[in-house]
Amino acid sequence: MTAVPLRAAAAPPHRLPVAVVAIGLALLLAVAALASLSLGASGLLPWEVILRDTTPAERAILFDIRLPRLILGVLVGAALAVSGALMQGLFRNPLADPGLVGVGAGAGLGAVIAIVLGGLLPVTNRAMLGAYLVPVFAFAGGWAAVLILYRVASLRGQTSIATMLLAGIVLGALAGAVTGILIFVADDNQLRDLTFWGLGSLAGANWTKLAAAAPILIAGLAAAPFLARGLDAMALGEGVAQHMGVPVETVKRGAILSVAAMTGAAVAVSGGIGFLGIVVPHILRLAVGPGHRLLLPLAALFGAALLVAADTVARLAVAPAELPIGIIMALIGAPVFLWILLARRAVLEV
């Protein structure tokens, strides 16, 4: 695997002016957000709530269903796209995604444990956690996986990215095996729940979930820009970055922890939504180049816009039922991405 797309020195033949890209993405997000507030199975329009006397159920559609869902979509979309960009910078590999630090496998195992074994908890604990059992377990599982990997890969204050990658694969296999055992003992309904969880959805968004996930997602997003300079320097190699005065270990630790926090929280509230973390940074690198200082904020904008748009499609496609958002992301995203790859093959060189 070459690191061509990340090499800061690579001459960009078809870059777009940054201001154009930024304004374009902001507009895209604004349009997607407006659509997300305006479109849904019920056909209720947001201004109706002001213009006419609405029922409590109608107000609930706008303020308790669409609004928290929009905000959650923005944060989760931004977090997944930025996590992808951070991972690709950290591993110096355009195919890296948050799955490499074990968050996905750990969170998946946590969710499976909650779905299959949740019924075994004492009634008092179950009543306390209730609907939040799966998100809480998924987040805890994601974090536990990252901490184990980080511990394994760190020796005398140095974190080996290669060891982390290998250990991540091994831990993924282990989590997969435990998940397999639980799938074996799961009943029919639990299997259904597992399948839907894996396909991801923002349909469960509400203010409680948002209040729990938002601080973590926002903290991760806020930390990302501080890593940009370090990741740019590390694209030239850790040794070179060290000589340039970049605190390499701090950057690594910061990137791993913020990715773990963001992905863990995102997966916990929305299930398995793939694809954003790879596609968004790729398309943006083609447009504005590989520098992280531009890439990270633009990835946040683009990721948010795409997820909000996909979520709007998810709830309209088979209304009043709903499609899992993972299906929409892959169904629309994959052909577009393939087309970009074909059109820009000469530039991309991967």
Partner 1 sequence: MIRPALIGLALLLAQPALAQERVLSIGGAVSETVAALGQEARLVARDTTTTYPPALTALPDVGYMRQLSPEGVLSVGPDLILMAEGAGPPETLATLRAAGIAMVEVPEGHTPGAVQEKIRVIAAALGVDEAGAALADQLGAEIAAATAQATAEPGPKPRVLFILGNSGGRLTGAGTGTSAEAMIALAGGVNALEGFAGYKALSDEAIAAAAPDVLLVMDRGAGDTSEGVSDDRDYLTHPAIAATPAGREARVVRMEGMFLLGFGPRTAEAITALHAALYPKAP
Burial 95-117 (b: 16+ CB within 10 A, else e): ebbbbbbbbbbbbbbbbbbbbbe
Give yes or no for residue 204 binding partner 1 (CB under 8 A).
Answer: yes
In whole angstroms, give the CA distance from residue 326 to residue 348. 26
* Least distance between partner 1 and beta carbon 308 (Å): 15
Binding to partner 1 by CB under 8 A, coded x per residue (else -) over 250-269, reads: --------------------
- Neighbouring-strand partners of residue 155: 158
Give yes or no for residue 131 binding partner 1 (CB under 8 A).
Answer: yes
* Least distance between partner 1 and beta carbon 116 (Å): 12
Q: Considering the complex, state which of residue 91 and residue 197 has its C-beta at the smaller distance from partner 1.
A: 197
The neighbour count for residue 126, using CB atoms within 10 Å, is 13
Give yes or no for residue 206 binding partner 1 (CB under 8 A).
Answer: yes
- Total residues interacting with partner 1, rule: CB under 8 A: 35
* Least distance between partner 1 and beta carbon 213 (Å): 13
Q: By CB under 8 A, what part of segment 30-59 binds partner 1?
A: 40-43, 56-57, 59
Q: Considering the complex, state which of residue 86 and residue 194 has its C-beta at the smaller distance from partner 1.
A: 194
Cis-peptide, bond into residue 320, ω within 30° of zero: yes
Q: In Å, what is the CA distance from 107 to each residue of 86, 94, 230, 283? A: 19, 23, 28, 27
* Least distance between partner 1 and beta carbon 328 (Å): 14
Spatial CB neighbours of 284, under 8 Å, sequence gap ≥ 6:
21, 85, 295, 298, 299, 302
Q: Under DSSP, is residue 122 helix (H, G, I), strand (E, B) or coil?
A: coil
Give yes or no for residue 320 binding partner 1 (CB under 8 A).
Answer: yes
* Least distance between partner 1 and beta carbon 204 (Å): 4
Using CB under 8 A, which of 318, 331, 338, 350 touches partner 1?
A: 318
CA-based nearest residue to 200, from 308, 328, 336: 328
Q: By CB under 8 A, what part of segment 64-83 binds partner 1?
A: 64-66
Using CB under 8 A, which of 4, 60, 181, 336 touches partner 1?
A: 60
Q: Considering the complex, state which of residue 122 and residue 184 has its C-beta at the smaller distance from partner 1.
A: 184
Torsion angle in degrees (nearest 10) through CA of 213, 217, 218, 222 = 160
Using CB under 8 A, which of 11, 51, 321, 346 touches partner 1?
A: 321
Q: By CB under 8 A, what part of segment 180-199 binds partner 1?
A: 184, 187-189, 192-193, 196
In whole angstroms, give the CA distance from residue 113 to residue 93. 32
In whole angstroms, give the CA distance from residue 304 to residue 71. 9
Q: 104 near 263, Cβ under 8 Å?
A: yes
Give yes or no for residue 157 binding partner 1 (CB under 8 A).
Answer: no
Sort residue 156 into left (φ over 0), alpha (ψ -120 to 50) or beta. Answer: left
Chain CA centroid to CA 268, Å: 10
* Least distance between partner 1 and beta carbon 196 (Å): 5
The gap between the terminal CA atoms of the chain, to the nearest Å, is: 7
CA-based nearest residue to 256, from 280, 234, 288: 234
Binding to partner 1 by CB under 8 A, coded x per residue (else -) over 209-238, reads: x-----------------------------
Using CB under 8 A, which of 154, 169, 207, 337 touches partner 1?
A: 207
Q: Considering the complex, state which of residue 301 and residue 329 has its C-beta at the smaller distance from partner 1.
A: 329
Give yes or no for residue 319 binding partner 1 (CB under 8 A).
Answer: yes
Tell me which residues touch partner 1 (CB under 8 A): 40-43, 56-57, 59-61, 63-66, 130-131, 184, 187-189, 192-193, 196, 201, 203-207, 209, 315, 318-322
